[in-house]
Structure 1
């Protein structure tokens, strides 16, 4: 059975921090692959700064080309809005059944609010959580500290954000070193985030 870690995000744009974390998870845990699950543009709150789904997918696709254990996933594009992780997990289980086991990749900051997620107990009952460190305030609730399905992975702390990249790019700063080369080329050619 293939062990797949799901890395959810808008990836607007995907950057080297995302790749470093995903690659670390697949190399230093029991995961066989990591899928970047691109969160679709919500029809309920259209944000000017969020690129169309297909452009963000294309950038993720370009970013993972040279990494056979990393994949781009559009699974949430066809699911009802708003997207809840539990619905995506149920859909994946129906679609891939017995061949795949799905886990979640979470930043430590997300673990602190995980108890507020829809059906979080059900997620935890059926899936493992691989948690990577973040510099963030707040404390991890006791219920997740000794939880056997919560695995803290000693991944590098990546404090690069897509928001910072967009703002810097708009201000005319050179953001190229923070992006996979293929993503930079696509972004530059398409004149995104100017």
Structure 2
């Protein structure tokens, strides 16, 4: 039987409850069988700033999702040529998992920049895109509103960002409710973002 897998790409720096809420919502309230949280590797051409090492971010995603059998931490892009393009990752996954049907998960804000992605026309022709709401000042572009490959999912609007979490940790704020307890423990033990 073919499995339908939603790919949720992100730096997850760090993963917070908003990410997990969206992933779980997609598994429970769409026709996706699984959600793979694809940790995007560090782009060597960009300044590192506060981006943790790939393996540390993957470990935190694993810790945050291990009790959800249909949400999987994925390092699939770690061994692909950089910079990683979604269209190449999809082609690689299809070759590696021919019995799976892959779809993309993205926020409304990313949908509006989809036309800038490499081979976005091929992506929209071949893959379904599940879009969750984000608080933005821009509306979804007209071309995407009734697109047959785009599904708007009425997921909860999460006004939490990894930037907010990092800044709060740096400022010694108590933000433990925003993180899985094991993720917070790891961040605290490793002294990350301080």
**TM-score, normalization by structure 1:** 0.98
2: CA distance between counterparts of 1:52 and 1:46?
Answer: 13
Structure 2 gaps of 5+ residues are none
The residue number in structure 2 matching 1:68 is 69
Cα root mean square deviation, aligned = 0.8
User: Shift of residue 111 of structure 1?
Assistant: 0.8
Structure 1 residues 114-162: Cα deviation after superposition (integer angstroms, max 9, x where no partner)? 1111111100111100000001022322221111110000000001000
* 2:137 is the alignment partner of 1:137: yes
The residue number in structure 2 matching 1:83 is 84
The residue number in structure 1 matching 2:37 is 36
User: Shift of residue 46 of structure 1?
Assistant: 3.4
The residue number in structure 2 matching 1:122 is 122
Structure 1 residues 148-181: Cα deviation after superposition (integer angstroms, max 9, x where no partner)? 1100000000010000000010001011110011
Structure 1 gaps of 5+ residues are none
1: CA distance between counterparts of 2:47 and 2:97?
Answer: 31
List, as ranges, runs of 4+ consecutive aligned residues in structure 1 with deviation greater than 6 Å. Answer: none
